[in-house]
Amino acid sequence: MIALSTTPPTEDDHRQWYEVLMAHPKWGRCHYATICDDQGAALVRRIAELEAQTPSALKAKLESAEARIQELEKWREDAALGLGASRVEALREAREVLRLCAVKPAYPKSAPEYGPVRALCERHGYGAVVACASSQWMESLERQGYPMDGAHVSGPCVGTVTSTINLITRALGE
């Protein structure tokens, strides 16, 4: 039973009130919110906060923190071996390459191939033409005994490239 007091209610008092109300056959869960709106809302919020601190929730937070610590330790080890700077340089290089893909290329509309290629793309789809041309270019180089390194490739859309550039920039802290 809850004792009446002139002091403000404690968290234990709120929990006891909640438990009594939830167990009451008439004032149980369906009437709880209307019986004690202000205190009930505060109590429900506090109970949610306490439930977020359950052992399983705390264990998940701990595991997440431990994984982050391991990741940071790996970066520290790499930096001690001199690999940290190379990672930064690799990220910068990747960002610069991706930036080449995010800019609209300027192709002269007066070039003789512009019109026929545009018609081909509108007939078969721009992505299909680019992917097919890239694939055929690689096959042609390979057939001739050349490395495929020089062939253009079709890749992700500009939006994906731009968001990846932004992720790299944030990771670099720049």
Q: Let me know if residue 112 belongs to a domain.
A: yes
Q: Let me know if residue 1 belongs to a domain.
A: no
pLDDT one-digit tens code per residue, 76-127? 666 665 656 677 788 888 888 888 887 787 888 999 999 999 999 999 999 8
Q: Is 119 exposed, middle or buried (0-12, 13-18, 19+ CB in 10 A)?
A: exposed
Q: Let me know if residue 146 belongs to a domain.
A: yes
37 & 95 share domain: no
In this predicted structure, what is the pLDDT of residue 24?
Answer: 58
49 & 87 share domain: no
User: In this structure, are residues 153 and 76 in contact, taking their beta carbons and an 8 Å threshold?
Assistant: no
Q: Let me know if residue 3 belongs to a domain.
A: no
pLDDT one-digit tens code per residue, 141-171? 999 999 888 888 888 888 888 888 888 888 8
**2, pLDDT greater than 70:** no
18 & 76 share domain: no
State the Cα–Cα distance between residues 16 and 36, nearest whole angstrom. 14
102 & 159 share domain: yes
Residue 9: pLDDT band by 50, 70, 90 thresholds? Answer: low
User: In this structure, are residues 103 and 169 in contact, taking their beta carbons and an 8 Å threshold?
Assistant: no
In this predicted structure, what is the pLDDT of residue 59?
Answer: 76
49 & 63 share domain: no
**56, pLDDT greater than 70:** yes
Q: Let me know if residue 4 belongs to a domain.
A: no
User: In this structure, are residues 33 and 40 in contact, taking their beta carbons and an 8 Å threshold?
Assistant: yes
- Can you give the C-alpha Rg of the chain in angstroms? 32
77 & 153 share domain: yes
Q: Let me know if residue 93 belongs to a domain.
A: yes
In the 3-class helix/strand/coil scheme, how is the chain assigned residue by residue?
Answer: CCCCCCCCCCHHHHHHHHHHHHHCCCCCHHHHHHHCHHHHHHHHHHHHHHHCCCHHHHHHHHHHHHHHHHHHHHHHHHHHCCHHHHHHHHHHHHHHHHHHHCCCCCCCCCCCCHHHHHHHHHHHCHHHHHHHHHHHHHHHHHHCCCCHHHCCCCCCCHHHHHHHHHHHHHHHCC
Percent of the chain residues past pLDDT 90, beyond the cut: 18
Give mean pLDDT, residues 34-46. Answer: 59
Average pLDDT, the chain: 75
115 & 37 share domain: no
41 & 105 share domain: no
**51, pLDDT greater than 90:** no
In this predicted structure, what is the pLDDT of residue 34?
Answer: 43
State the Cα–Cα distance between residues 4 and 131, nearest whole angstrom. 78
Residue 136: pLDDT band by 50, 70, 90 thresholds? Answer: very high
- Domain of 44 in residue numbering reads as 11-53
87 & 115 share domain: yes
End-to-end CA distance of the chain: 61
Q: Let me know if residue 5 belongs to a domain.
A: no
